[in-house]
Structure 1
Amino acid sequence: MRRSGRMVRNIILIALMITAPAAAQVTVREDSLFSPALGRYERYTVLFPDGYHHGEERYGVLYLLHGFNGDHTSWHRSTRLVEYAASVPLLIICPDAGNSWYTDAVTGPSGRIETMFITELIPAVDARYRTRPERAYRSVAGLSMGGFGALKFGVTYPQLFGFAAGLSPSIQFPAGLEDSAIVARRSAASNASVRAAFGAKRSPVWERNDLFRLAERADAATLPYLYIAVGSQDGIPEIPLQAGTLAGILRIKGAAFELHESPGAHTWGYWDSALGRMLDRFRKRP
């Protein structure tokens, strides 16, 4: 009887192995393009969804932007992005933007990153890979500096994106440089990068990159769906405060958005869990 029971268990295990679906396989690859706007090659990471290399299906694209001192490898090296991506059939593109604040810098080595992203990278991705190039299938998200960039791109170029998300977005800049308390909390390198990106106080470049002003002027009917998530223990206190300010502007305008505040700090631990929640919400969006 004992032997018979063992045989039954083995048969069940074999049946489960035969019928269980194979785990989705996400492929990670580094690529680059030459940018005339920058006069140099720009690297980016591509995450290909399961089945991409064995079919003809086209996929939506998520551009995932890194934060200050990050690069095109930050997301997949520091979070469970590859694991999460297995459940979302998307091409995921992680560009390398340096400490540019995702804008056309006034001074410094960053150069015209915004121009590169909008007029060169997006068209190159649509030309090189099997994408669905319609607005509804193109999204952008980022953390901290990248959260600022993602929300700014979504509000500034609503014709390009159907969904934009900021995780712990540093939307206090550029105007935050006028606040001595904010400046004192940040490193000299961080403050220098903001000045290089946005130039003199209240210059036209500041005005073009002030997310609050951009949101106030935007046509709510044309905006992408905006998703904002912040940690309640963020060591940069203005981040949750100003996320609330932006949410207030969007609410008054009648824009489609959601704001989430949950336990967490300005750390990869928080961004990892926030990324998982954001992608889960992305799958269920209207």
Structure 2
Amino acid sequence: MRIPLLIISFLILFGCNSNKTKEGMASKILERSLFSNHLKDSINYSIYLPEKFQNNKNNYILYLLHGHGGSNDDWFNKKEGNIKHILDSLIRTKTIKPTIAVSLNAKNSWYVNSTTPMELIYINEFIPYIESEYGVSANWGTRILAGNSAGGFGALNFGLKYPNLFKSVVLLSPAAYFPSPPEISSSRKIDVFKFKGVFNDSIWKSYSYRNLIDSSKFVEDYPKFYTSTGDDDAYGIFNVITKLRSFFTKNNIQNETLVINGGHDWKVWRACFTNDLIRIYND
């Protein structure tokens, strides 16, 4: 089912006002932390709980991965992801089912195991902790993963490496370059992909999504991927999603691609994310 972007914008802009909900029953955003045994330290996360939230095994959950230079606040900031307003509007109009949304402060880890073992932390600690703490069913059918830019890089790799965990994966301008990122990419500036202080192509390629498909192993169901970008994205993401689409098709992985007017920014990501979320719940 395809929903025009005009209708999506209407739902977001003119959805029910959250202030009309009775006190104590409104949706909320909580700032919390968990202790990581891998890191030997606490990590902050933000979580959205829908209106009339109750701990039960029927809750859907969105895992939101932030981009480079971001934090767990990005998706919840009104000037950036504004996820509370989007979800409040879509839930109250019954366009989607009641859904929890959560984001971990992964800093500039790009969600890989390096100096900080962020992949291990996210998959082995964060997801089990959240689903136990908030009563979410550990169910492939109720998990959705989404990420923007570097978060899209992480979401792509998680979706392919752990196909049993996620039903759907939303990639918003994913910085999943192959074979190498352009000079403008922030991936070249961090230690994760460097050797002796210099960006290293071999290290970058070792984390590539192209290494995560093993033709000798049968995978019954990969997640369905929803990939999008703005047509004026200055970071070369249009070429990234073109290559991704060919990769998905070659490996018989379900996928949808969306290109809209705009750049590498939250205006594009909010619109594409909302569109994808509606399609996920209506597929």
TM-score range, shorter chain: 0.7 to 0.9
Q: 1:133 aligns with which of 130, 138, 141?
A: 138
Q: Kindly tell me: are residues 219 and 236 of structure 1, through their superposed partners in 2, closer, same or farther at Cα, counting changes over 3 Å?
A: farther
- Return structure 1 stretches of 4+ with deviation > 4 angstroms: 21-24, 197-200, 215-220
Task: Give the Å deviation of 1:261.
Answer: 1.2
1:103 correspondence with 2:112:
yes
Identity of aligned residues (%): 26
Consecutive unaligned residues of structure 1, counting only runs of 5 or more, are 1-20
Q: Kindly tell me: are residues 117 and 48 of structure 1, through their superposed partners in 2, closer, same or farther at Cα, counting changes over 3 Å?
A: same
Task: Give the Å deviation of 1:112.
Answer: 0.7
Task: Give the Å deviation of 1:56.
Answer: 4.6
TM-score with structure 1 length normalisation? 0.80
Per the alignment, residue 230 of structure 1 pairs with 229
Q: Kindly tell me: are residues 220 and 58 of structure 1, through their superposed partners in 2, closer, same or farther at Cα, counting changes over 3 Å?
A: closer
Per the alignment, residue 250 of structure 1 pairs with 248
Task: Give the Å deviation of 1:252.
Answer: 2.1
Which amino acid is the alignment partner of residue 71 of structure 1?
S
TM-score with structure 2 length normalisation? 0.80
Question: Partners in 2 of 1:145 and 1:186 — Cα distance?
Answer: 10
Per the alignment, residue 60 of structure 1 pairs with 60
SS at match of 1:33: strand
Q: Kindly tell me: are residues 115 and 263 of structure 1, through their superposed partners in 2, closer, same or farther at Cα, counting changes over 3 Å?
A: same
Consecutive unaligned residues of structure 2, counting only runs of 5 or more, are 1-19
Per the alignment, residue 168 of structure 2 pairs with 163
- Equivalent pairs counted in the alignment come to 248
Task: Give the Å deviation of 1:221.
Answer: 3.6
Per the alignment, residue 150 of structure 1 pairs with 155
Task: Give the Å deviation of 1:282.
Answer: 2.1
Q: CA RMSD in A?
A: 2.3
Post-superposition Cα deviations, 1:104-129, rounded to whole Å, max 9, x if no partner, equal 11x4xxx1111000000011011101
Q: Which has the higher helix share?
A: 1
Question: Partners in 1 of 2:224 and 2:194 — Cα distance?
Answer: 26
Which amino acid is the alignment partner of residue 191 of structure 1?
R
**Taking CA–CA contacts closer than 8 Å with sequence separation of 6 or more, which of the two structures ends up with the larger relative contact order?**
2
Post-superposition Cα deviations, 1:14-47, rounded to whole Å, max 9, x if no partner, equal xxxxxxx959932100111100111110111010
Task: Give the Å deviation of 1:197.
Answer: 4.3
